[in-house]
Amino acid sequence: MRNMLAIASKELRSYFAGPIAYIAIGLWALLYGYFYVAILQFFVRNSMQMMGQMGGPQSMNVNQQLIRPLLQNVTIMMLFVLPMVTMRTYSEEKRSGTIELLLTSPLSDLQIIMGKFLGAMGLYAVMLLVTVPHIALLFIYGNPEWKPILTAYLGLLLLGGCFISLGLLISSLTKNQIVAGMVTFAVFLMLWIITWIGSFSGPTVDQLTKYLSIIDHLDDFSKGVLDTSHLIYYLSFITFGLFLTAKSVDSERWRG
């Protein structure tokens, strides 16, 4: 545990010591701000129209019409920003030789991997934190429910965990962080758009791609539904990603 936290804090510190954390958080905040303004404008215009049509004050559901699409757009931001977070985790250690320090220290592979995972999750948590004030603002002018927001954030955290575990795996496969970043982005994108072919290819494929798509499992979370099948899906995705990372690091040893 102590070792794991030592690695995690080292990872977190190295994000903030270099430009990566600032660029990632900066881009994240910029994109999020843009989405926020765009969706808010759309929401305001819609509710004005509703008022006109219904001939009186009608309140639209802030959760359903504003917060849910907003947080779903956060997944697009993850697509672009998270590869930047994970691309160097292993590849940079391999390139600079510091991996030799880690692998010859009295640490288990699991401690190293979990440490790196937690470090990246820490940075991701900071990014999610950046999105909170905007939503808090909505409580001043409207009255959204807070419970669906909480489940949505849980969903985002889990989804981020999936992306990060996958990013770690890809980073462990190469010495070149640019390669790691590009491949990670491509794989994320693939997982994101996998449902597109499903809707035209009959019910079986549709079901299958829906199940595989890591985005579709977020839907219930953002509606405020806590379904154990989605929880299990995300947790097993993360576990499997980290397991493969462990195997990849181990096989590197054998190959030398």
Partner 1 sequence: MIEVQHLTKRYGRVTAVDDVSFRVERGEILGFLGPNGAGKTTTMRILTGYMPATEGKAIVAGFDVFDQPIEAKRRTGYLPETPPLYPDMSVVEYLDFVAKIKGVPSSGRRERVRGAMERTRIADMANRACSKLSKGYRQRVGLAQALIHNPDVLILDEPTAGLDPKQIIETRQLIKELAGDHTVILSTHILPEVSQTCQRVVIINKGRVVAVDTPDNLTARLRGNETMYVQVDANGADAGSLLASIPGVTRVAAADQREGLTGFEIESEHGHDVRRDLARAVVSQGWGLLELRPMRMSLEEIFLSLTTDDVAAVAGGDAAPAATPEGDAVNA
- Closest by CA position to 24, among listed 193, 160, 219, 137: 160
- Stretch binding partner 1 (CB under 8 A), from 51-59, 106-114, 134-142, 165-173: 106-114
Residue whose token pair is 């597109």: 196
If one asks whether residue 95 binds partner 1 (CB under 8 A), the answer comes out as no
Residue type, 119: G
Nearer to partner 1, 37 or 101 (CB): 101
If one asks whether residue 3 binds partner 1 (CB under 8 A), the answer comes out as yes
Assess contact for 4 and 114: CB atoms under 8 A: yes
| Sign of the C-alpha dihedral computed for residues 245, 112, 156 and 73 taken in this order | negative
- Closest by CA position to 161, among listed 119, 189, 130, 132: 119
Pick one of 46, 61, 105, 239: the residue that binds partner 1 (CB under 8 A). Answer: 105
If one asks whether residue 6 binds partner 1 (CB under 8 A), the answer comes out as yes
If one asks whether residue 106 binds partner 1 (CB under 8 A), the answer comes out as yes
Nearer to partner 1, 5 or 31 (CB): 5
Taking the complex as a whole, the smallest distance from the CB of residue 245 to partner 1 amounts, in Å, to 18
Pick one of 101, 178, 189, 225: the residue that binds partner 1 (CB under 8 A). Answer: 101
Taking the complex as a whole, the smallest distance from the CB of residue 18 to partner 1 amounts, in Å, to 5
Taking the complex as a whole, the smallest distance from the CB of residue 135 to partner 1 amounts, in Å, to 33
Taking the complex as a whole, the smallest distance from the CB of residue 10 to partner 1 amounts, in Å, to 5
Considering CB under 8 A, how many residues would be counted as binding partner 1?
Answer: 26
- Stretch binding partner 1 (CB under 8 A), from 92-100, 117-125, 164-172, 181-189: 92-100
* Alpha helices, H only, the chain: 2-17, 20-54, 62, 68-86, 91-96, 98-103, 109-141, 146-171, 177-193, 195-198, 202-212, 218-223, 228-255
What is the spatial distance between Cα 207 and Cα 209, in angstroms, rounded to a whole number?
6
- Closest by CA position to 172, among listed 123, 100, 122, 244: 244
Pick one of 55, 57, 104, 202: the residue that binds partner 1 (CB under 8 A). Answer: 104
Nearer to partner 1, 110 or 197 (CB): 110
φ, ψ for residue 138 (rounded to 5)? Answer: -65, -25
Assess contact for 242 and 113: CB atoms under 8 A: yes
Nearer to partner 1, 72 or 111 (CB): 111
Positions that interact with partner 1 (CB under 8 A): 2-3, 6-7, 10, 13-14, 17-18, 96-108, 253-256
